[in-house]
Structure 1
Amino acid sequence: MSLQIFILGVLSSGHHHPYDIKKMFKQNVLDDNSKINDGTLYYNFEVMLKKGYIEKIEVIRDDNRPEKTTYGITPFGKEHLQQEIYAIFKNFTRVDSLYSAVLFLKHVDPKKLEFLIEEAQEKLENKIKRDQAFWETVRDETPPAVHLIHDHASSQMKVDLQWLEKLKQLILEQQ
């Protein structure tokens, strides 16, 4: 999951400090592969601050606690968020690479997104056809374990294609 898209998406709804975003990330991310630590989180905030995507809003200082900086998204950051969401769909390779973008689809043009999803579906359909054609040429010469692996990979691509169709329908319903 793209942490920068997640941060920008959350900041599009209001000002937050990194700890808030870390808690939201843990609540919204359902896969075990996406984890963040404080170093990664703060590094991403610094990078986006330097690029002008976010800005410091307020620094709160408490006597007994470390200072807490609240951030907001800039107009440039909102534009960047849109472009990153489009880019993720345009460069589609796997469904799980889309997860962070799917959380913030309200920030993009649904018609443009529908087009990008259709392109992703076409890429995946072509990949399935190429895979099947290749498999036909090597199937009889491969051991049973390879058949099992191919069956899983082929099934996963078909499930991903179905998921993309469900996503497209969701977007069409929300228009």
Structure 2
Amino acid sequence: MTTTENVETRNGVDVSQLTHTVDAIGTDPDLANFRFRAHNVWLGGGRSRTEMHGFWGAGAEDTSRAEPFVLHGDEPPVLLGSNQAPNAVEAVLHALASCLAVGVTYNAAAQGIDVRSLEFDLEGRLDLHGFLGLSPDIRPGYQHIEVTYRIDSDAPDDVLDELCAHVQRTSPVLDMLRHPVEVSVTRT
């Protein structure tokens, strides 16, 4: 005889697996260490292709991906590209939105909050004087990113506000944007 285990899902998240993961990391802190990797190839002009396949995490090399994920980058014509893909700074906005969406839905699920819909709008302000080397006083990256979101849920506003505050404190991508990250660049 086979039995079907009743899996509680909320917001598309397996809550028991989420709880098990948190408990496992609490018991064995080394399980929290991950190493994500990417490989990029320049394709000419402003175009490039980045592949993400394996990564190391939860104490082992992950082999769950049969094929790599592929992201393409390019520039719009005004920045001398062929407009075949988003540019790198647009990809940063995607990474931030994706991370915030995961943070909201996973944390909401853990707190028993049903999310019916969730949307983010992001705008990054950038001054090309820094990127083009025309002004040492202007940083080459974003000077400001504005994020607005809409969430449809039965939870009261104060609970949703605390959920958003918690997500801002724990979002890896938001943390990387708000605080300097040590990056080493080496030619091999």
TM-score strictly above 0.5: no
Q: TM-score, length-normalised on structure 1?
A: 0.29
Q: Normalization by structure 2: what TM-score?
A: 0.28
Relative to its length, the structure with more strand (as a share) is 2
More helix by share: 1
Q: Which has the higher contact order (CA 8 A, sep 6+)?
A: 1
